Amino acid sequence: MKIKLVVMDLELSKRAKRIAAAVLVPALVIAGGAIAYAGTLHVWNDGDMLNSSDLNGNFADHEARIAALESPANGTWQSYPVSLVDAINPTTKITTGVGSNNAFYRRRGDSIEVRIYTDFNAPPSPSGVRIGWTLPVGLSIDTTKLPGHQAGFPYRDTLGTGVWSYAGSGDLDGYVNTVPSTSVVAFSQGADDLRTDTVGIDSGVVELFFSVPVTP
């Protein structure tokens, strides 16, 4: 990117102007690199005149991006109201048989880390459906960043680990995986996701720990 300085008469002494130029030119070079990277800011062409509105707009954009990265919400654990649903038909909610149901997440760049704790105190219903846990409202799994994702076979994207603990059998380890809905995850201990009728045998606790790329 080339920048042509057409007029610079700030009614300063020659020494002050030299100092100002020494500061301004590197700053413009740095800003120019950021502009080229962002691709959405104002870009100057050879012969264009600099003006305050374009410069201020670009700097304001950079300030907003930096503020978002430095926001306390970025990297800070936050609770969110997780819901249990039918993993295949998320409009069907699982409400009965669920005691404690707590979830926390934190943002890590383009991804989120999630921890979920669900205590089943009775057989949940409806019976026979895969159990799904919802992501924070407004966030969806970015499947373009899951290297093994296949649109026609969405059940085997492994996102993290989980454990189902219940009396008499100890801990059964498994993994967190994707389902057709990009706002829901499931827990599997093998070829099939955990189902309400399976949990209903012994109740117990399910804990999930996973990380997943999201949009926006």
User: Which of 25, 19, 18, 36 shows the shortest CA–CA distance to 3?
Assistant: 25
Q: What are the two backbone dihedrals, phi and then psi, of residue 58, each rounded to the nearest 5 degrees?
A: -65, -45
Which residue positions in the chain have pLDDT lower than 50? 3-10, 12, 15-39
pLDDT for res 159: 96
CA 192 to chain centre: 26
Is 27 strand, coil or helix? helix
Domain ranges of the chain: 14-69, 78-215
pLDDT for res 62: 66
Q: What is the pTM of this model?
A: 0.67
- Which class is 78-215 in CATH? mainly beta
Q: What are the two backbone dihedrals, phi and then psi, of residue 32, each rounded to the nearest 5 degrees?
A: -65, -40
The answer to whether the beta carbons of residues 175 and 162 sit under 8 Å apart is: yes
| The token pair that represents 27 in the structure block | 């700053």
Q: Which residues contact 135 (CB under 8 A, 6 or more apart)?
A: 105, 112, 114, 141, 183, 184, 185, 212, 214
Query: 58 has which bridge partners?
Result: none
Q: Which residues contact 62 (CB under 8 A, 6 or more apart)?
A: 31, 34
pLDDT for res 169: 65
Positive or negative: CA dihedral 123, 127, 132, 136: negative
